[in-house]
Amino acid sequence: MTFRDAWQRALYGPGGFYRRERPAAHFRTSVHASALFGQAIARLAGQLGLPTVVDIGAGSGELGKVLRDEGLSVLDIELDDDLPAQLSGLVIANEWLDNVPCEVVEWDEDGVPRYLLADLTPGPVVHGNDLLWLEQWWPGGPGDRAEVGRARDEAWQDVIRRLTDGAVAIAIDYGHVRSGRPPYGTLTGFRDGRECSPDPDGSCDITAHVALDSLGGTILSQRDALRALGISASRPPLALAHTEPLRYLSELSSAGEAAELLDPSGLGGFGWVWTAADAATVRRASRALCA
Ligand SMILES: C[S@@+](CC[C@H](N)C(=O)[O-])C[C@H]1O[C@@H](n2cnc3c(N)ncnc32)[C@H](O)[C@@H]1O
Query: At 36, which CATH number?
Result: 3.40.50.12710
Tell whether 110 is covered by a domain: no
Tell whether 190 is covered by a domain: yes
Tell me the percentage of the chain whose pLDDT exceeds 90. 97
β-partners of residue 107 are 113
Tell whether 195 is covered by a domain: yes
Tell whether 65 is covered by a domain: yes
Residue 190 has pLDDT above 70, yes or no: yes
Global pTM reads 0.96
Tell whether 109 is covered by a domain: no
How many structural domains are present in the chain? Answer: 1
Amino acid 116: pLDDT: 98
- How much is the average pLDDT of 244-272? 97
Chain segment 173-186, per-residue pLDDT in tens = 999 999 999 999 99
Tell whether 67 is covered by a domain: yes
Q: Can you tell me which atom of ligand 1 is nearest the CA of 205? A: 1
The best mutation among 27, 78, 154, 205 to test binding of ligand 1, ranked by most ligand atoms within 8 Å of the C-beta, falls on: 78
Amino acid 291: pLDDT: 63
Rounded to the nearest whole angstrom, what is the distance from the C-alpha of residue 261 to the centroid of ligand 1? 19
The answer to whether the beta carbons of residues 188 and 194 sit under 8 Å apart is no
Chain segment 212-226, per-residue pLDDT in tens = 999 999 999 999 999
How far is CA 51 from its chain centroid?
22
Rounded to the nearest whole angstrom, what is the distance from the C-alpha of residue 59 to the centroid of ligand 1? 5
Tell whether 47 is covered by a domain: yes
Chain segment 45-98, per-residue pLDDT in tens = 999 999 999 999 999 999 999 999 999 999 999 999 999 999 999 999 999 999
Chain segment 88-121, per-residue pLDDT in tens = 999 999 999 999 999 999 999 999 999 999 999 9
- Report the distance separating Cα 20 and Cα 108, nearest Å: 37
Cα–Cα distances in angstroms (integers) from residue 106 to residues 7, 113, 208, in the given order: 17, 5, 15
Q: Can you tell me which atom of ligand 1 is nearest the CA of 77? A: 21
The answer to whether the beta carbons of residues 271 and 220 sit under 8 Å apart is yes
Residue 227: domain span: 12-101+145-231+264-289
